[in-house]
């Protein structure tokens, strides 16, 4: 297709672009809210979109909340009421993948938090963890002799605040024992999670990389930019890519997924990306950098409000 140009979406163009769409997929953190505060004007913009009959879905790489928790957070921050089935988090989608991919009776060894466990339970996927490593003895030599569950045929790595060497040992042992017959999945590869004031904490990508390095193999990624998470949306709703807009704040996840899946892509500058970064990609000759350039940008999704007035 023709080169994407990252045009500012002014009200006139916004009316046209929104008019041609029947579905909007929203990334959450950095687009709808930052931490625990809604982006000013974002709840009103989504309410108007919904009132105009647009289908709204929420697509997030965060594996540390369930669909239900997202629906509750949207409600609490004043967004239009959402059903859990409109929420596509990497925890829910990982559970969905395993439900289809694991042979009957097989289980997953899971590094993650309670929400990942809850989504696996809801999908009926047998699993060990998430939780403490719980291995016997004081050190790695003892852990290497700890019993392995015979049912485990997959290792799933999500956001795990209690990630540790013992869990890394166990993940490697399951992957070595199962060989290529043991699945290796990561919820996402986000390398950092930004905090207010420029601070950041290491993201799930760091944990996935540790397991990949130990196992000498590459994980299958569930979340953005993988098209698997978009396929989950498509299998739940009738999606026409040409009538769908992906709205995100991150180029290497949200925008790349949208571009790869044939969606219209809209970058908002309320999150992690600056226009200077986009410019760098635009001016580059490298095709893989060009696919990080969105079709349009806004300073904030509140900028869509004038285009949604009667
Ligand atoms: N992973 C974790 C653990 C997070 O806390 C977040 C954001 O809060 C993300 C990923 C990124 O989420 P999103 O895809 O909604 O920006
Ligand atoms: Ca985001």
Evaluate: CB of 58 within 6 angstroms of ligand 1: no
Please name which ligand lies nearest the alpha carbon of 268: 2
Q: Mean pLDDT throughout 244-248?
A: 98
pLDDT bracket for residue 212 (50, 70, 90): very high
pLDDT bracket for residue 241 (50, 70, 90): very high
How far the first Cα of the chain sits from its last, in Å, is: 33
Over 80: is that where the pLDDT of 177 sits? yes
Over 90: is that where the pLDDT of 136 sits? no
**Cα dihedral 182→184→185→189 (10° resolution):** 180
φ/ψ of residue 71, rounded to 5? -60, -40
pLDDT bracket for residue 135 (50, 70, 90): confident
Evaluate: CB of 205 within 6 angstroms of ligand 1: no
Over 60: is that where the pLDDT of 267 sits? yes
pLDDT bracket for residue 7 (50, 70, 90): very high
pLDDT bracket for residue 101 (50, 70, 90): very high
Query: Which tokens go with 121?
Result: 């339970």
Over 80: is that where the pLDDT of 310 sits? no
The minimum-distance atom of ligand 1 relative to the CA of 190 is 10
Query: Which tokens go with 182?
Result: 């043991």
Please name which ligand lies nearest the alpha carbon of 270: 2
pLDDT bracket for residue 197 (50, 70, 90): confident
Please name which ligand lies nearest the alpha carbon of 188: 1
Over 70: is that where the pLDDT of 1 sits? no
* Listed range (142-146, 151-155, 184-188) with the worst mean pLDDT: 142-146
Evaluate: CB of 69 within 6 angstroms of ligand 1: no
Give residue 36's pLDDT.
93
Evaluate: CB of 28 within 6 angstroms of ligand 1: yes
Q: What share of the chain is helix, strand, coil (3-state, %, to 5)?
A: 45, 20, 40
Residue nearest to atom 16 of ligand 1 (CA): 29
Residue nearest to atom 13 of ligand 1 (CA): 60
Over 70: is that where the pLDDT of 10 sits? yes
Evaluate: CB of 273 within 6 angstroms of ligand 1: no
Evaluate: CB of 62 within 6 angstroms of ligand 1: yes
Over 90: is that where the pLDDT of 137 sits? no
Residue nearest to atom 2 of ligand 1 (CA): 62
Evaluate: CB of 187 within 6 angstroms of ligand 1: no
pLDDT bracket for residue 77 (50, 70, 90): very high
Closest of 210, 301, 213, 204 to residue 253, by C-alpha: 204
* Listed range (39-48, 192-201, 214-223) with the worst mean pLDDT: 192-201
Closest of 269, 277, 272 to residue 195, by C-alpha: 272
* Listed range (1-5, 102-106, 134-138) with the worst mean pLDDT: 1-5
Q: Which residues contact 184 (CB under 8 A, 6 or more apart)?
A: 154, 155, 157, 175, 211, 212, 215, 217, 218, 219, 220
Cα–Cα dist 165/187, whole Å = 19
Say how far residue 194 (Cα) sits from the centre of its chain: 15
Q: Do 299 and 268 touch, CB atoms closer than 8 A?
A: yes
Give residue 198's pLDDT.
84
Query: What separation in Å is there between the alpha carbon of 223 and the centre of ligand 1?
Result: 10
Give residue 226's pLDDT.
98
Query: Which tokens go with 304?
Result: 């869509």
The minimum-distance atom of ligand 1 relative to the CA of 159 is 3
Burial bucket for residue 260 (CB in 10 Å: 0-12, 13-18, 19+):
middle
The minimum-distance atom of ligand 1 relative to the CA of 254 is 14
pLDDT bracket for residue 2 (50, 70, 90): low
Cα–Cα dist 34/24, whole Å = 19
Over 70: is that where the pLDDT of 237 sits? yes
Catalytically active residues, by annotation: 27, 29
Give residue 138's pLDDT.
85
Q: Mean pLDDT throughout 211-239?
A: 98
Q: Mean pLDDT throughout 194-220?
A: 95
Q: Global pTM?
A: 0.96
Give residue 144's pLDDT.
87
Which one of 92, 94, 193, 248 would you pick to mutate in the ligand 1 pocket, going by the greatest count of ligand atoms within 8 A of its CB?
Answer: 193
Query: What separation in Å is there between the alpha carbon of 16 and the centre of ligand 1?
Result: 31
């Amino acid at each position: 297709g023709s080169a994407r140009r990252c045009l500012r979406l002014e009200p006139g163009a916004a009316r046209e672009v929104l008019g041609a769409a029947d579905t909007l997929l929203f990334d959450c953190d950095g687009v709808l809210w930052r931490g625990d505060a809604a982006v000013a004007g974002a709840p009103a913009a989504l309410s108007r979109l919904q009132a105009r009959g647009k289908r709204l879905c929420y697509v997030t790489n965060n594996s540390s909340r369930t669909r239900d928790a997202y629906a509750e957070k949207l409600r609490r921050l004043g967004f239009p009421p959402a059903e859990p089935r409109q929420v596509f988090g990497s925890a829910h989608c990982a559970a969905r993948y395993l439900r289809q991919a694991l042979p009957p009776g097989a289980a997953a060894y899971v590094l993650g938090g309670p929400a990942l466990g809850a989504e696996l339970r809801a999908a009926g996927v047998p699993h060990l963890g998430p939780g403490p490593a719980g291995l016997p003895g004081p050190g790695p030599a003892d852990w290497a002799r700890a019993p392995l569950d015979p049912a485990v045929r997959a290792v799933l790595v999500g956001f795990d605040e209690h990630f540790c060497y013992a869990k890394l040992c166990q993940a490697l042992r399951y992957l070595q024992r199962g060989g290529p017959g043991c699945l290796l999945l990561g919820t996402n590869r986000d390398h950092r999670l930004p905090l207010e004031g420029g601070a950041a904490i290491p993201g799930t990508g760091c944990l996935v990389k540790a397991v990949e390095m130990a196992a000498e193999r590459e994980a299958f990624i569930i979340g953005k930019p993988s098209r698997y998470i978009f396929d989950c949306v498509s299998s739940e709703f009738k999606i026409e890519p040409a009538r769908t807009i992906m709205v995100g704040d991150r180029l290497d996840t949200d925008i790349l997924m949208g571009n790869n899946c044939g969606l219209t892509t809209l970058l908002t500058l309320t999150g992690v990306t600056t226009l200077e970064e986009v410019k760098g990609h635009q001016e580059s000759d490298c095709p893989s950098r060009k696919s990080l350039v969105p079709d349009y940008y806004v300073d904030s999704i509140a900028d869509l409000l004038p285009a949604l007035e009667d």
